[in-house]
Amino acid sequence: MRTTLIITICLLSLFALGVSCSEDSKDCSSTEEQIQKPLNPNGDSELALLMRAMFDEAQRIKKQIANNEPVTLTLDHDKILTAHATEPEKAASEEYKAFAAAYLQTIESLETASQAQIIDVYDGMINNCMTCHKALCPGPMARIKNLQ
C-alpha cells in the first residue's frame, strides 16, 4: 500500500517535471513545434521574429547564388546583438556575443565577395548559424540544415 503511494507520487512528480521542462525550453529544443507554430502568435520575442526573417533571407540568398544573381541583403542583421530574446540571459552571454560577432562578419563578407568566393562565404555563414544554435539553441538546427 505504502509502496504504491510512493510510486504514484514519484510518477506524478516525474510527469510534472517533464511538462515544465518542455514548456521552459519550447523555443530552443523542439523542432516540430518550431515548424508548426503559426507566424506571429502573441509572445514571440523580437529575436525569434528576426531569426525567422534571417532564415527567409538566407533561403533567398541561396537561390540568388544558384541562379548566378547578385546577392542582396534586406535585413539589419546587427539587430541580432540588441533584439529582445525569449531567454534574455542567453542573448546576454559572452558566448552568444562571440557567435553573433562571427555571424555578422560573414554577413559583411557576403556583401563584398566575388562571384567565385560567394558559395564559400555563404557556407561559412550557414555554419555560423549552426555553431551558435548547436551551443545555445538546438531546436531549429534541422531547419537550418536545409539552408546548406
26 binds ligand HEC (CB under 6 A): no
Member of 25, 29, 52, 109 binding ligand HEC (CB under 6 A): 52
CA distances from 91 to 39, 40, 117, 136, 144 (A): 22, 20, 31, 9, 19
Smallest distance, Å, CB 6 to ligand HEC? 38
Please give the Cα distance from 27 to 140 (Å, whole number).
Answer: 9
Q: How many residues bind ligand HEC (CB under 6 A)?
A: 29
User: Within 13 Å of residue 60, how many CA atoms lie on the same side as its CB?
Assistant: 12
Member of 90, 93, 109, 127 binding ligand HEC (CB under 6 A): 90
User: For ligand HEC, which is the closer residue by CB, 1 or 43?
Assistant: 43
Member of 54, 61, 118, 121 binding ligand HEC (CB under 6 A): 54
Sign of dihedral through CA atoms 97, 98, 103, 107? positive
Q: Which three cell numbers stand for residue 10?
A: 514519484
In 10 A of CB 44, how many CB atoms?
Answer: 16
Residues that bind ligand HEC (CB under 6 A): 27-28, 34, 45, 47-48, 51-52, 54-55, 58, 85-86, 90-91, 96, 99-100, 103, 128-129, 132-133, 136-137, 140, 143-144, 147
